């Protein structure tokens, strides 16, 4: 997929983290990024602490690898902005002193069945490619529960999926509308379940509308 050549204004850039929210649940994404709702639970607190730990230093070197922590990311073509957990720069060889970026994202849990983590990581790679004018073939997700890295190949399928989700994210935020709730098992893992009210809103677009109706009654 070739992404449409549109240059976004600085004020229109959306957070990279919103992509993960979108792929997990479009309603959750809208509640956070349109209705400005956020509640922390044990899972989000553990994730936040893991990210803070990943950003503990600015950079370090390990042999032929230079490691940058909390590197700012931006893409005016994709309309995204954010910060990496880690970007490793792997030196290509003794004669070739150039370094290839390898983004690593930290997650508190374990690998997920959906693509939300992979899409977020791929979006980071797309930002780095634009910033550094390089091609990045792969990165990795580190999961706290398994304490293992999972390599992620940025193939054409994942890149297309990521770019489609970026387009959907911009459309969602521009619409200013929160999608209706759809109850599923994953709702129990969401820190916004009390704000979202997936069993009570019954297809209403806004949890705030539901709360207002309850107060009027």
Of residues 19, 121, 131, 120, the one with CA closest to residue 73: 131
Of residues 176, 182, 106, the one with CA closest to residue 144: 106
CATH fold group of domain 10-180: Lambda Exonuclease; Chain A (3.90.320)
DSSP code of residue 187: G
Model confidence pTM above 0.75: yes
Q: How many helices (H) and strands (E) does the chain have?
A: 7, 9
CB-neighbour burial class of residue 128 (10 A; exposed 0-12, middle 13-18, buried 19+): buried
pLDDT in tens, the chain (217 residues): 545 557 899 999 999 999 999 999 999 999 999 998 876 554 555 555 555 555 555 778 888 899 999 999 999 999 999 999 999 999 887 666 689 999 999 998 888 888 999 999 999 999 999 999 999 999 999 998 898 999 999 999 999 999 999 999 999 999 999 998 888 888 888 888 888 888 776 555 455 554 455 455 4
Both ends of the chain: CA-CA distance in Å? Answer: 50
Q: Could you give the CA distance from residue 3 to residue 101 in angstroms, rounded to a whole number?
A: 22
Q: Could you give the CA distance from residue 51 to residue 191 in angstroms, rounded to a whole number?
A: 17
For residue 172, the tally of other CB atoms under 10 A from its CB is 21
């Amino acid at each position: 997929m070739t992404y449409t050549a549109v240059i976004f204004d600085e004020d229109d850039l959306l957070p990279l983290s919103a992509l993960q929210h979108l792929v997990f649940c479009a309603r959750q994404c809208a509640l956070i990024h349109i209705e400005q709702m956020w509640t922390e639970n044990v899972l989000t607190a553990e994730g936040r602490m893991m990210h803070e730990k990943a950003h503990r230093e600015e950079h370090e070197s390990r042999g032929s690898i230079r490691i940058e922590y909390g590197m700012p990311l931006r893409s005016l073509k994709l309309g995204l902005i954010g910060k990496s957990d880690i970007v490793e720069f792997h030196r290509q060889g003794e004669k070739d002193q150039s370094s290839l970026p390898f983004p690593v994202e930290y997650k508190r849990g374990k690998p997920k069945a959906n693509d939300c983590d992979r899409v977020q990581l791929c979006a980071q790679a797309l930002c780095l490619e634009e910033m550094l004018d390089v091609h990045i073939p792969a990165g990795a997700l580190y999961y706290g529960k398994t304490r293992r890295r999972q390599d992620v190949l940025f193939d054409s399928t994942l890149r297309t999926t990521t770019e489609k989700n970026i387009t959907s994210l911009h459309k969602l935020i521009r619409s200013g509308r929160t999608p209706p709730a759809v109850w599923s098992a994953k709702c129990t893992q969401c820190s916004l379940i009390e704000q979202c009210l997936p069993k009570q809103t019954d297809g209403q677009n806004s949890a705030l509308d539901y709360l207002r109706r309850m107060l009027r009654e």
